[in-house]
Amino acid sequence: MIPSPAPHTRPPQLHIYRQTWGILLFVALIAACLWIAAPFLALSGWAIIMAVSVWPGYVHLSRWLGGRRRLTALLFAVIGFVILVLPIVLGGVSAARQAPAMVQAVADVARHGLPGPPDAVAHWPLIGPWLHDTWAQASTNGSAVLAQYRGTIMDTARWLLFRAGSFGLAMLQFALAIVIAAFLLVRADDAIALLQAFAGKIGGATGQDLLPVTAHTIRAVAFGVVGTSLVEGVLAATGYAIAGVSVAGVLGGATFLLCILQAGPGFVFIPAVAWMWWQDAPGWAIFVLAWHLALVIPVEMFGRPYFISRGTGLPMLLIFVGVLGGVLAFGFIGIFLGATVLAVAYRLLLRWLAPTQHAG
C-alpha cells in the first residue's frame, strides 16, 4: 500500500510573521483613526456625555410627542442652549458693559486713593496685617500702590485675557457639542446596539452589564454637578439682588460657571463682600456673607456629593475622589471621566471578590 503524501503545512515562522504583521497593521489602523479624530475627541466626548445624560428624558418626551424623535432632539438642543450657553453669554455681555466702570474705579483709586481700612481688618488671620497696611497705603497714595503692583496687575490682566479667549473657544465647542448630541439622540438606538455588541466582544456578559453602570454614573454626575451649580448660581444671584447689587445676574452667572468648574462660589462672593464693605455698606456685606454661608456653601459642600452618590448607589468618598481627581487629571471633562472610571473599576472589583453574586 502506497502511503498518501503528507498534507502541505506552512512553516511556523510564516504563520508567526503573518500574525505579527496583522497585529501591526491593526494597531496602525487604530492609531491613524485616533490621529484623524484627535481634533474632535473632546467635542465628541462632550456630545456623548450630554446625550447619555438626557436619554431617559428624551425617551419620555419623544413618546409624549408621538415618536417624533427629530422634534424631540431639537427641543433638547434648544433647552441645552437656554440652560448652559445663554446665561454665560448674557453674563459675558453684562460684564463687558461694566468694564468702563471698573476702569474708571481704578483711575479714581490712582487719583484719590481708597477709603481708610476698618481697624478690624488688621486682626484678620494670616493676611490681616498685610492687607491693612496695603489698604492704608492705598488710601493715602493710590498711585504708588498701583505702581508697586503694576507687574502683578499686568500679569493678571494677561492671564485673564488668555483665559477669556480659551473660555470663548470652550463655549463654541460646548455649543457644537449640543448640536452633535441632538444628532446622536436621533440615532441612539443604533449606537446602543453597537456599544452592547462591542462590550459583549470585549467583556462578555460582564462588559454588557457595566454599560448601565457607566450611563447611570454619567447621568448622576451631570445632574449632580450642573444641577447643584445652577441652584448655587440662582441662590447667589437672589442674595445679591436682595442686597441691591446692580450686577446680581452677572455674579450669579459667574458663581454658576465657577461651581461647574469646581472652583466654588468663594471666588465671587468674597470679593463682592469686600467691595460692598469698601462702598460703606457693611450691613449688606454681612448679609451677603451670611447668605452664602447659610445657603450656598452647604449646597456646594454636601448637596453635590449626596446627589451624585445617591444617583449611582456608590460610596460618596469614591465619587468625591473621582470628581476632584478627574478634574486634576483631565480638566473639566474629568469631572465625568474620573467618577465613571472609578465607578466601573469599583463594580469590577465587586465582581471579582464575589463572582457568583450580582454587584449591586
Q: What is the pLDDT of residues 139-167, one digit of tens each?
A: 666 666 666 666 676 776 676 666 555 56
Q: Is there a contact between 342 and 321 (Cβ–Cβ < 8 Å)? A: yes
Whether 245 has a pLDDT exceeding 50, the answer reads yes
Burial 136-165 (b: 16+ CB within 10 A, else e): bbbbeebeebeeeeeeeeeeeeeeeeeeee
**79-83, 103-107, 276-280, 303-307: least confidently modelled range:** 103-107
Q: How many CB atoms lie within 10 A of CB 134?
A: 16
* Cell numbers at 133, concatenated: 497696611
Report pLDDT digits (tens) over 175-213: 888 888 888 888 887 877 877 787 777 777 777 777 787
Distance CA(305)–CA(319), nearest Å, equals 7
The H or E element containing residue 165 is helix 150-186
Predicted confidence at residue 68, as pLDDT, reads 85
C-alpha 94/C-alpha 100 separation (Å) is 11
d(CA 86, CA 175): 10
Q: How many CB atoms lie within 10 A of CB 276?
A: 22
Contact indicator for 344, 214 with CB cutoff of 8 Å: yes
Closest CA to 277 of 169, 115, 82: 115
Q: For residue 156, give the C-alpha cell.
A: 493678571
Structure-block grid coordinates of residue 258? 465657577
Domain assignments of the chain as residue spans, ordered by start: 42-186
pTM of the full structure: 0.62
